[in-house]
Structure 1
Amino acid sequence: MQKLDLHEDDLDSRAREVLREIIMQHVATGEAISSRSLARSGRFRLSPASLRNVMADLEDLGYLQQPHTSAGRVPTDRGYRFFIDNLMRSRALSSREREAIDDQVRNANEIDEVLQSTSRLLSDLSDQVGVVFMPTLLQFAIRSMDFVLVAENKIMCIIVGTNGVVVNKVVESHDTFTREELEKISRYITVEYSGMTLDAIRRRLIRMTEEQNDEVLQKTISLGIVAVNDVAPVEHELYVEGATSMLMKPEYADAASMRKTMLALQERGKLIALLNSCLTEDALQIIIGSETDFTQVHNFSIVARRYGSHAPLGMVGIIGPMRMEYARMAPLVDYLSRALSRKIEEEEEQQQ
């Protein structure tokens, strides 16, 4: 990712206010903004002619551009970046939004249920595309693995990582287990495999199926393989919700843009690679248009933040057009990331 290089000293206070107002109006209307509409806003004690001069300077500096069919101006990638870094005033979430996020995260139990419902909630609250990413857990090293019977042939697998992260998953088994058997299996796997990654455990268990004839041990091996396969699929987990909301935006109204947008959201590999590269950064990240290949090609922006308590587990974010209400999207993503991290931390404390 190559963040656009800007210099705060490029713009004086008047140019900053003009740029901010143009972006705010453009985000709200989707239209190119003229000097006349700026003058009518009542925010400036300048004539339309004076405002046109400021707009021309902003265009020369690369913060605005003029669409072919309009006398007005629209922000460039550079303009949006300057706005986000220097001019944006993030708004506080409403109590309704906070409650919706807290309820959704609190009431989900399994990790995949939490992630899918989170991406859907992000889309609903933002009217953009909600995305949640979790890298494969194959390299997740375990401290303990416990099995709890929750229903006939349904077993809760609780894995505590060496980093303190807790992952829960209900798995289905063709074998029947008593609670006592599950306790013994939990102790066996924890003692034998503590400190090993799920990938190494899976490979060890698969080898053991060829070597062991003991029926009890075979049941242990079988349950262990099922649990690891369900908890740590080979593929990364990526949940994308709300693609149709993107198609309602004016930017993607024509058939060609609509098709291009739908295809872009299906490019899982490129999106996963981008989100994976963001895991090293703890703070909220806003990626605009030309700053990455993925966002540049499709004229997207991404607002994202990683989640996890002691260690990053994945990313939550919003994908939308560059004409996005960043001041509202940023606190939404930030709050949801923190809510997910709190839930993970609470589960870790319960297992200690």
Structure 2
Amino acid sequence: MANAEERRFDVLRAIVADYVSNQEPVGSKAIVERHNLGVSSATVRNDMATLEEEGYITQPHTSAGRVPTDKGYRLFVDRLSEIKPLSAAERRAITTFLDSGTDLDDVLKRSVRLLAQLTRQVAVVQYPMLTNAKVRHLEVVPLTPARLMLVLITDNGRVDQRTVDLGDVVTEEDVARLRTVLNAAMSGRRLNDAAARVAELPDKSPGELRDALVRVTTVLVESLAEHPEERLVLGGTANLTRNVADFPGSLRQVLEALEEQVVVLKLLAAARNPGAITVRIGEENEDEQMRSTSVVSIGYGRDDVVLGGMGVVGPTRMDYPGTIAAVRAVANYVGQILHGR
């Protein structure tokens, strides 16, 4: 960029910083006083006029200062040369808090709570997607002589527990045989393949196990299926109500949209690669109800495999560097924790 263009971007960056911080339109005098750009108020006013003509800032009221537009925020985000790093204390706190999670459900709930606290926005985390998951193990636990608990564990850390009423008493030896037969069919296979193998077992099993296998496999096929409605954890919705003015006439629409799992899943759809941040600002959001918001999302996982997505939803007047740093850090730690389990 030429010097004049660089200077105008510095003016835009100053407007974004002050407006995000104070929620007040920003004037040229304030920019000169607060940001030490080394130019006069007249030069800043001329730069602001150019930025307004180009659609990067706008004047909400006559004689008021300027505020960034969606286009202005986009330029600011695209040119973030460095993300505000988290302090060593913040990183330690994240690690300690997430490491204390007892299982996958707990880790994801902690992640949402942590993201909402760090960013003061709405946080959302998607459960590990089952598309690429494989069965690690199936544990068969007798609860009574005629009732079993099935504990299905996948290689992405997901644990699914189901109970089965067998309708008849089975021996400990039969339970052991069931465990062996089921794990032989399922272990190490992708879920769709495992479901197909399990569905074939009753026809191939010894007669004395057939009735039990019919009941067990019916429940297992259901467990192995993808359930999109169970795939999200949402937290911090009340944070949106702190500054209702950020959502003129649309806060209710945003809250209603966040209740729709399909809408939120779409917000995370761009999170394809672990560590790759996606920022959608205002009108860039596909859902009309979300066009007064910005969404910062990322894929979490291990190596090059995305397990799921997570992100933050807030107003376009957002601390983008701080939010991006927090989302990236939490996603990184979640991926490490799940990889180690």
- Cα distance in 2 for partners of 1:70, 1:239 equals 44
Q: Which residue, out of 177, 181, 187, partners 1:188?
A: 181
Aligned to 1:235: 228
Q: Which residue, out of 233, 245, 250, partners 2:239?
A: 245
Structure 1 length normalisation: TM-score? 0.80
- Cα distance in 1 for partners of 2:171, 2:32 equals 76
- Cα distance in 2 for partners of 1:302, 1:309 equals 23
Whether the 8 Å contact between 1:65 and 1:74 is mirrored in structure 2 is yes
Q: Which range moved further: 171-180 or 53-62?
A: 171-180
Cα drift, residue 68 of structure 1: 3.0
Q: Which residue, out of 271, 274, 287, partners 1:278?
A: 271
2:95 aligned with 1:77, yes or no? no
2:310 aligned with 1:319, yes or no? no
- What code does the residue aligned with 1:279 have? R
Aligned to 1:350: none
3-state secondary structure, aligned to 2:302: coil
- Cα distance in 2 for partners of 1:143, 1:42 equals 56
Are the structure 2 counterparts of residues 206 and 42 from structure 1 closer, same or farther at C-alpha, using a change threshold of 3 Å? closer
3-state secondary structure, aligned to 1:109: coil
Q: Which residue, out of 132, 151, 159, partners 1:168?
A: 159
2:263 aligned with 1:265, yes or no? no
Aligned to 1:117: 110
Aligned to 1:344: 338
Whether the 8 Å contact between 1:284 and 1:303 is mirrored in structure 2 is yes
- Cα distance in 2 for partners of 1:9, 1:149 equals 70
Cα drift, residue 243 of structure 1: 1.0
Whether the 8 Å contact between 1:288 and 1:295 is mirrored in structure 2 is no
Are the structure 2 counterparts of residues 297 and 166 from structure 1 closer, same or farther at C-alpha, using a change threshold of 3 Å? closer
Whether the 8 Å contact between 1:129 and 1:243 is mirrored in structure 2 is yes
- Cα distance in 2 for partners of 1:249, 1:148 equals 51
Aligned to 2:139: 147
Are the structure 2 counterparts of residues 318 and 158 from structure 1 closer, same or farther at C-alpha, using a change threshold of 3 Å? same
1:30-77 C-alpha deviation (Å, 9 max, x unpaired): 111011211221513333222111111111222111113552111112
| Matched residue count | 334
1:110-133 C-alpha deviation (Å, 9 max, x unpaired): 323322332222112211000012
Cα drift, residue 328 of structure 1: 0.7
3-state secondary structure, aligned to 1:103: helix
Are the structure 2 counterparts of residues 214 and 10 from structure 1 closer, same or farther at C-alpha, using a change threshold of 3 Å? farther
Aligned to 2:153: 158
- Runs of 5+ unmatched residues, structure 2: none
- Cα distance in 2 for partners of 1:304, 1:109 equals 25
- Cα distance in 1 for partners of 2:89, 2:164 equals 41
Aligned to 1:128: 121
Whether the 8 Å contact between 2:202 and 2:210 is mirrored in structure 1 is no
Whether the 8 Å contact between 2:185 and 2:194 is mirrored in structure 1 is no
3-state secondary structure, aligned to 1:293: coil
Whether the 8 Å contact between 1:288 and 1:302 is mirrored in structure 2 is yes
Cα drift, residue 219 of structure 1: 3.7
2:60 aligned with 1:67, yes or no? yes
Cα drift, residue 23 of structure 1: 0.6
Cα drift, residue 345 of structure 1: 1.4
1:299-335 C-alpha deviation (Å, 9 max, x unpaired): 1111111011142111011110111111111111111
Are the structure 2 counterparts of residues 304 and 228 from structure 1 closer, same or farther at C-alpha, using a change threshold of 3 Å? farther
- Cα distance in 2 for partners of 1:166, 1:315 equals 15
Cα drift, residue 155 of structure 1: 5.3
Identity of aligned residues (%): 28
Are the structure 2 counterparts of residues 84 and 205 from structure 1 closer, same or farther at C-alpha, using a change threshold of 3 Å? same
- Runs of 5+ unmatched residues, structure 1: 1-7, 348-352
Whether the 8 Å contact between 2:116 and 2:123 is mirrored in structure 1 is yes
Whether the 8 Å contact between 1:129 and 1:319 is mirrored in structure 2 is yes
Are the structure 2 counterparts of residues 245 and 69 from structure 1 closer, same or farther at C-alpha, using a change threshold of 3 Å? farther
3-state secondary structure, aligned to 1:20: helix
1:168-210 C-alpha deviation (Å, 9 max, x unpaired): 3444455699987666444322322456543454466467669
2:325 aligned with 1:331, yes or no? yes
- Cα distance in 2 for partners of 1:9, 1:148 equals 69
Aligned to 2:8: 15
2:48 aligned with 1:55, yes or no? yes
